[in-house]
Amino acid sequence: MHFLDQAKIFIRSGAGGPGAVAFRREKYVEYGGPNGGNGGKGGDIVFEAVPGLNTLIDFRYKQHFKAPRGGGGAGTNRTGAGGEDLIIKVPIGTQILDDDQETVLADMTEPGQRVVLLEGGIGGRGNASYKTSTNRAPRQHQPGMPAEEMYVWLRLKLLADAGLVGLPNAGKSTFINQISNTKAKVGAYAFTTLRPQLGVVAHRNREFVLADIPGLIAGAADGAGIGDRFLGHIERCRVLIHLIDINGTDPAEALQVIEEELEAYGGGLDEKPRLIALNKIDTVDEELVKAFTAELKAAGAKRVYPISGASGKGMGRLLDAVIGHLPAATATERPDGEREELDEKPWSPI
């Protein structure tokens, strides 16, 4: 399935049905009278957040959504049929923005959440409603209220408890494959990950959702590399895991680059708690791990977690730290009897 995280669509509610002009004509009834019914209400435009969707790809092939109009009134005081509401299903985490792409009209964050964005027009009055003691045979009637229409932008921000950030080739795909059910693409070249990935992590009888986004480089906020457009998918995370490649040119510089890009992006990312993980320790000796750990702490890291995404070494304590930042209501319980298979003994956070 292709991944699409933003789309522009046109929406229009249903117009109200017109009222009717009609009169009673019955045998043996000397005096008739007006009996034209009112028009029906037009359909609303309703957005609904549904589980099981994680892309807006459906809106690439259909961009116009129009609710049916209300039916017209009829004689014998019959009210026109109301137009059915048009329900547009979107993934949980979708924001609905005005055409200016800045004003947030609705934020769909809960399963089953519904928002009426455009209301259908009210049906017009039939001539029966105009009858008075001095106006016994009115011929007035109302057309239905017109429909409302607008263009809106849909922007998907994935709902995850924790997010992965780092430079390209930091080992994020290998990391998420190691601890979750994700099958992310792994390759020995930059920008292996081209779209966000979600994985469910099970640890210590708890489960949480982890999001991996494409790697950042210096200048991403200005469009360098893949840019920073995918950072929106970790805005809702409670904690960020910053992976740093121990085989990189300068791990301390890598830390600073990501920190600067998070601050440049805004959205509160620079204020989120971050866990610094020094990755690929299985490729170097312990002395080098300690040296680079000291460098990272000198560069501003409060605590460093040496890990290996390939072998799972040191991952247990890192995941313990992640769960420590999640409220009990966020991480769900796992079935009894399941145990972690991650190695927790060789390394501890320094």
What are 90's strand-pairing partners? 49
Residue 250 CB partners (closer than 8 Å, separation 6+): none
Which residue reads 């060789």 in tokens? 346
Is residue 258 a known part of a binding site?
no
Is residue 72 a known part of a binding site?
no
Is residue 214 a known part of a binding site?
yes
Is residue 172 a known part of a binding site?
yes
Is residue 181 a known part of a binding site?
no
Q: Is 41 helix (H, G, I), strand (E, B) or coil?
A: coil
| Separation between Cα atoms, residue 33 and residue 35, nearest integer Å | 6
Is residue 65 a known part of a binding site?
no
Is residue 247 a known part of a binding site?
no
Is residue 133 a known part of a binding site?
no
- CA angle in degrees (0–180, nearest 5) for 189-194-198: 115
Is residue 307 a known part of a binding site?
no
The DSSP bridge pattern shows strands 274-279 and 239-245 to be parallel
- Tokens describing residue 3: 């991944």
Is residue 91 a known part of a binding site?
no
Which residue reads 């009829």 in tokens? 74
Is residue 194 a known part of a binding site?
yes
| Separation between Cα atoms, residue 21 and residue 232, nearest integer Å | 55
Is residue 167 a known part of a binding site?
yes
| Separation between Cα atoms, residue 166 and residue 213, nearest integer Å | 9
Is residue 193 a known part of a binding site?
yes
Is residue 135 a known part of a binding site?
no
Which residue ranges make up the annotated binding site for GTP? 166-173, 191-195, 212-215, 279-282, 308-310
Which residue ranges make up the annotated binding site? 166-173, 191-195, 212-215, 279-282, 308-310
Which residue ranges make up the annotated binding site for Mg(2+)? 173, 193
